Each structure stands twice: as structure tokens, then as C-alpha cells.
């Protein structure tokens, strides 16, 4: 114990010595606080481009006093580790959504299969009282505050063949993110669902630990799943949104003007991302086809019907009324 602590004490002592000598102003010359944003997308993904925009806007709006460094590709940690990192204060921002249901049950509502119908419905839900309630639940239970949101394209089932009806799925080894709702949904459909971090999916498909995965076209493309999956099944089973979140405690300690700058920068990043997203959505199907992937039509109604009871059962009783509100919105 004493031994392990000694070097640290020495280091701190050394720092105190330097400060006492009056060298401190040199450290503060730039007066910059550096914050870290980690996410799972790669450099081509709109999340990354929007994160860079967020960083740029934060720097501009604080005249460089706040610097946001962006780390793509789970370089800073897997999604779950980043969530925990923010809670511990070692990371400041990430891009996350329904995985937060492991802390805040209402976060499951971001991605309920066959609940959100289209982009207009999504914006109505997120921008209104329902979205506010979900964001507050997340902030209260996770200490991660949603700062802005990005719409996502529908999630599709990719595999090496068509799965036209859920009856075909029996025993299919599918990777899902760390989202209990998704595990329940795919198991109700007959598949074997394995939660796994995004950065492990490509290799696991390549070595056949898993046969399938499900994601929006944007991630299917940027993660090069076309190299290990032949078929995009048009399940379109989830329309979800995702947040840039920041650590409540760390953000709360920033001066008020810097907090306002962070919020304004997040809003600017959201608007910027929407433009990129819409452009992407127009081109992704053709781009994936050009990479050799085939689209297969499926019986979406059968997928929805077979998963429905499991989906409702997977939602905590206290958030089921909010699910009903989403459907009715």
C-alpha cells in the first residue's frame, strides 16, 4: 500500500514545487480545458463528421478555451466502457442511445422494433414532451446528459442469405448491441442473439462466430460489412435516434458561458449531421449494391407480428405508457 502510493505522492509533490516556483502561468498560457469524445463509428461515418463539427463549434464559441478531441472506432473504449468512462470522469462525451437502457429503462424507447414509423414521426417524438421525458430519465439515472440527437436510418438484418420470413431465422446466430430489448426481440423471432461491442462484429462475422448482424445502412457501409455479408434483408425493424451525451458532473463544473457554448455547439452539430444523414440515405442503397450486396424483400408484417409480444413484455411496466404515447403520436 505505502509503496504503491509513494511515487504518486512524489509526482504531486513535484508539481506543487513547480507551482510554488511561479511557473504555473506557463501551463495556463492557452488556458485550454481538453475534453474527450469517443464513439464507435469510423472516419467516414456522419457521427464522426458531426463530432468534428461539434469540436470546431465548441472551440469557436469559447475562443479556444475548451477543446474537444474526437476518437472514432471505439479507440477510447467500447460503447459500454465509454458510458462508464463518462460516469467515472475519464471520458466526457459519447454517442449512445438504447444501450443506456442498462441504466435507464426509458432508453429502450429510443429503439422499439416497429414503433417509430418515419423521420417526421421520430422528430415529433424526440422534440416533444415524450423525448424530453426520455432524456430526463437518462440524465437522472446515468449522469449522462443528452445534448442533441441524430436520426438514424432503419436497421436491416444482414447475413449471407435471404431471411424472407421469421420462420427462416431458427437458430441464426445474430449479433446485437448490448441492448436487452434487442436480445428479447430476436429470440422471440427464433434467432440466437449475442450481445457484442460494435468493434468486434466484423471479425466475428469473418470467422463465423456469428452469422448475422443488424444495423442501419450507414454503419453497414462504414464498417465494410459488405466484405463479410452478402445480403441485406429489408427488415427495417427499428427506426431509432441517438444522442451525443456529456457527463453531467463535468459539464456542470464548467463556467456558465462555456456550458452554453457546448449546448449551442451540439445544436449546430445536430443540424449539420441532418444534412449529411439525408444525403447519405439517398445514396447508401446504391453504394452497398455497388459493393456487391444484394437486397432481399422480407415479410415485414410477419417480423413485426412475431416480435410484438416479446417487445411489449421487455418494456418495464412504468415505461409501457410512454411506448403507447409514441405509437399514438
Q: What residues line the site for ligand 2Q2 (CB under 6 A)?
A: 40, 79, 96-99, 177, 179, 198, 215, 219, 242
Q: Give 166 or 177: the residue with its C-beta nearer to ligand 2Q2.
A: 177
C-alpha to C-alpha distance for 91 and 102, rounded to whole angstroms = 19
Q: Give 62 or 215: the residue with its C-beta nearer to ligand 2Q2.
A: 215
Residue 95 CB, shortest distance to ligand 2Q2, in Å, is 8
Strands 144-151 and 173-176: unpaired
Q: Give 79 or 273: the residue with its C-beta nearer to ligand 2Q2.
A: 79
Residue 100 CB, shortest distance to ligand 2Q2, in Å, is 6
C-alpha cell at 186: 430476436
C-alpha to C-alpha distance for 189 and 212, rounded to whole angstroms = 14
Residue 97 CB, shortest distance to ligand 2Q2, in Å, is 4
Residue 156 CB, shortest distance to ligand 2Q2, in Å, is 11
C-alpha cell at 67: 477543446
Residue 2 CB, shortest distance to ligand 2Q2, in Å, is 43
* Residue 77 DSSP class: -
Q: Where are the alpha helices (DSSP H) in the chain?
A: 2-20, 24-28, 46-61, 79-88, 119-127, 129-142, 180-188, 201-206, 217-222, 248-252, 256-290, 300-314, 320-328
User: How far is CA 134 from each of CA 143, 215, 310, rounded to the nearest angstrom?
Assistant: 13, 22, 21
Picking from 90, 263, 98, the residue whose alpha carbon sits closest to that of residue 179 is 98
Strands 241-247 and 144-151: antiparallel
Q: Give 6 or 75: the residue with its C-beta nearer to ligand 2Q2.
A: 75
Residue 215 CB, shortest distance to ligand 2Q2, in Å, is 5
Q: Give 61 or 247: the residue with its C-beta nearer to ligand 2Q2.
A: 247
C-alpha cell at 107: 432508453
Residue 131 CB, shortest distance to ligand 2Q2, in Å, is 16
Say if CB 159 and CB 233 are below 8 A apart: yes
Q: Give 61 or 184: the residue with its C-beta nearer to ligand 2Q2.
A: 184
Picking from 128, 97, 102, 153, the residue whose alpha carbon sits closest to that of residue 325 is 128
Q: Give 104 or 266: the residue with its C-beta nearer to ligand 2Q2.
A: 104
Amino acid at each position: 500500500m505505502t509503496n504503491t502510493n509513494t511515487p504518486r505522492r512524489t509526482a504531486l509533490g513535484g508539481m506543487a514545487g513547480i507551482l510554488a516556483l511561479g511557473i504555473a502561468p506557463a501551463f495556463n498560457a492557452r488556458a485550454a480545458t481538453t475534453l474527450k469524445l469517443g464513439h464507435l463509428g469510423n472516419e467516414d461515418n456522419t457521427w464522426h463528421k458531426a463530432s468534428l463539427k461539434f469540436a470546431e463549434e465548441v472551440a469557436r464559441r469559447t475562443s479556444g478555451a475548451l477543446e474537444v478531441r474526437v476518437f472514432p472506432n471505439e479507440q477510447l473504449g467500447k460503447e459500454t466502457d465509454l458510458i462508464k468512462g463518462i460516469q467515472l470522469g475519464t471520458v466526457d462525451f459519447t454517442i449512445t442511445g438504447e444501450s443506456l437502457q442498462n441504466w435507464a429503462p426509458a432508453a429502450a424507447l429510443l429503439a422499439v422494433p416497429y414503433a417509430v414509423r418515419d423521420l417526421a414521426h421520430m422528430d415529433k417524438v424526440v422534440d416533444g414532451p415524450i423525448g424530453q421525458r426520455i432524456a430526463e430519465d437518462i440524465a437522472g439515472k446515468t449522469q449522462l446528459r443528452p445534448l442533441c440527437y441524430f436520426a438514424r436510418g432503419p436497421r436491416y438484418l444482414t447475413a449471407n442469405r435471404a431471411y424472407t420470413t421469421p420462420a427462416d431465422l431458427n437458430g441464426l446466430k445474430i449479433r446485437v448491441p448490448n441492448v436487452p430489448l434487442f436480445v428479447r426481440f430476436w429470440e422471440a423471432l427464433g434467432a440466437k442473439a449475442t450481445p457484442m461491442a460494435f468493434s468486434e462484429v466484423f471479425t466475428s462475422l469473418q470467422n463465423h462466430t456469428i452469422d448475422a448482424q443488424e444495423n442501419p445502412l450507414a454503419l453497414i457501409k462504414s464498417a465494410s460489412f459488405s466484405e463479410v455479408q452478402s445480403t441485406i434483408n429489408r427488415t427495417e425493424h427499428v427506426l431509432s435516434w441517438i444522442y451525443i451525451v456529456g457527463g453531467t458532473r463535468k459539464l456542470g463544473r464548467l463556467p456558465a458561458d462555456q456550458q452554453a457554448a457546448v449546448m449551442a455547439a451540439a445544436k449546430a452539430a445536430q443540424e449539420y449531421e441532418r444534412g449529411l444523414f439525408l444525403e447519405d440515405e439517398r445514396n447508401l442503397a446504391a453504394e452497398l449494391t455497388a459493393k456487391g450486396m444484394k437486397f432481399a424483400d422480407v415479410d415485414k408484417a410477419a417480423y413485426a407480428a412475431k416480435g410484438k409480444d416479446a417487445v411489449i413484455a421487455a418494456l418495464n411496466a412504468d415505461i409501457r405508457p410512454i411506448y403507447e404515447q409514441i405509437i399514438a403520436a
